[in-house]
Each structure stands twice: as structure tokens, then as C-alpha cells.
Amino acid sequence: AQSVAQPEDQVNVAEGNPLTVKCTYSVSGNPYLFWYVQYPNRGLQFLLKYITGDNLVKGSYGFEAEFNKSQTSFHLKKPSALVSDSALYFCAVRPNTGGFKTIFGAGTRLFVKA
Amino acid sequence: DAGVIQSPRHEVTEMGQEVTLRCKPISGHDYLFWYRQTMMRGLELLIYFNNNVPIDDSGMPEDRFSAKMPNASFSTLKIQPSEPRDSAVYFCASSLGQGPYEQYFGPGTRLTVT
């Protein structure tokens, strides 16, 4: 079965330190990969996506993500965390064939301490 | 563009009552999705439409749930009769085409069934 795993329910980091939010997936072929962020009482908001090409993708608010095909991972990163980055982060994967269903991970709560 | 619009933002109803949630997608988007988010089950895809036609409703939990998209700018999700376990945040999202396009989420409707 196709799946997306975010192994950490919560990630804690101090402001100014680098952050990583992990994502691995089990989807056949060459899927499209996405990261979304959800702030309290808001809908999900697109951050970045990987389609093809360079394994390092840059997105909104200084976030970037590293694609690793051999490890089927797509980890979200930021060099210097801000308190305002505290939110719920979702990894999402969409197969590039056979339909339009996007598979979302369970989400990782990021807490950035001042 | 105003983004995806959902109404109402909050709905409190009694068990057994009919509930109708409404969504206006972003103009020009031809895919529309309905999701449900709960603490226990995370983000679940209920149904999605392409060009106003339902494509996959396998996520609709029961016959009590129905969704329609009478035109490109309006969709409804109806629950009849509602039950306390339907309490959740319901999101509508829209997207362009069949390519690797991200989804744009509305602010959600928080449904409480007592």
C-alpha cells in the first residue's frame, strides 16, 4: 500500500538553530512531493514541491527540502528557525500516474523556542 | 483572487440534523477536493471532482455523506443525518490541471455535532 511517514510527532528547536522535519514515502514510480504548513485555525498552505531535477528544492519563508531517491525521503529544512515557524507541517505525495489522489502524512508539529 | 472560500466557518448542530457545507474554489481551477481533519484520524480525503464530475468518492465514510458540484464555482458537502462522530474540521481545496500542481485550501468549517 502507498504511504507517507512522518516519524516525529513533534520537533523542538531553539530559535536561530537549523531545523529538519523528516518525511519518507512508499509510492511507486516517480511521484510528486509536497510540503504544506498549517497554522492554528487555518487551512493548509503550500510551501514547496519537488517535480524533477535538482534534489534541493527551495520554497516559501526560507524553507527548503532535500529529495533522496534511494532513501525515498523528502526532508524539510531551514537553516535558521524562527518562533513564527511554529506550526503543523505535512508531507504529501502524489503518484504521477493513475489518478490524482494526494497522500498526506500525519503531520509533525514544530515548536520553536525563543 | 480571494482564495478558496468556505462557509460557514463554524457550525454547531444537534444529532440527526442535516448539515450543508459550502465551497467556492479558485476561479480557473478544475479540481476540487473535500477533506476532513480530526485529531484521531488526521487529514482524510473524502471526495474529489474534476470539471464538476465526481472522480473518487471512496473516502466518503457513509451514505449519510453526499457531495455535489453543480458548476465550476460551487460545491456542497452534505451530512444527513449528522452524528457526534462527524465532528471535525472540513476543508475544501482546489487545484489546477493534471500536472504537479499544489492544492489551495480554504479556511475550513469546524463542525460540532452534539
Closest CA to B93 of B80, B111, B75: B75
Q: How confident is the model at residue B100 (pLDDT cuts 50, 70, 90)?
A: confident
CA-closest candidate to residue B42, choices A47, A89, A93: A89
pLDDT score, position A95: 86
Amino acid at B58: S
Chain A residue nearest residue B90, CA to CA: A43
Residues of A in contact with B31 (CB under 8 A): 100
What is the mean pLDDT of the segment spanning A9-26?
Answer: 97
Residue A101 — very low, low, confident or very high, per pLDDT cuts 50/70/90?
A: confident
What letter does residue B18 receive in the DSSP assignment? -
* Range B100-111 average pLDDT: 95
Residue B72 pLDDT more than 70? yes
Share of chain B above pLDDT 90, in %: 89
pLDDT tens-digit profile of A29-86? 889 999 999 999 899 999 999 999 899 999 999 999 999 999 999 999 999 999 999 9
Instruction: Please compute Rg for chain B using Cα positions.
Output: 13
pLDDT exceeds 90 at position B99: no
Q: What is the pLDDT of residue A28?
A: 85
Chain A residues with beta carbon closer than 8 angstroms to that of B105: 36, 43-45
Reported confidence tier of residue A98, pLDDT bands at 50, 70, 90: low
Q: pLDDT exceeding 70 applies to what percent of chain B?
A: 99
Q: Look at residue B64 and tell me whether its pLDDT is greater than 90.
A: yes
Residues forming beta bridges with residue B62, ordered by sequence position: none
Q: Which residues from B are below 8 Å from A98, CB to CB?
A: none
Residue in the block written with cell 460551487 = B74
Do B42 and A99 lie within an 8 Å CB cutoff?
no
Confidence at B1, pLDDT banded by 50, 70, 90: low
Question: Which residue type is seen at B27?
Answer: S
pLDDT band at A19 (very low <50, low <70, confident <90, very high): very high
In the predicted model, what is the mean pLDDT of residues B48-54?
95
On the question of pLDDT at B98 being above 90, the answer is: no
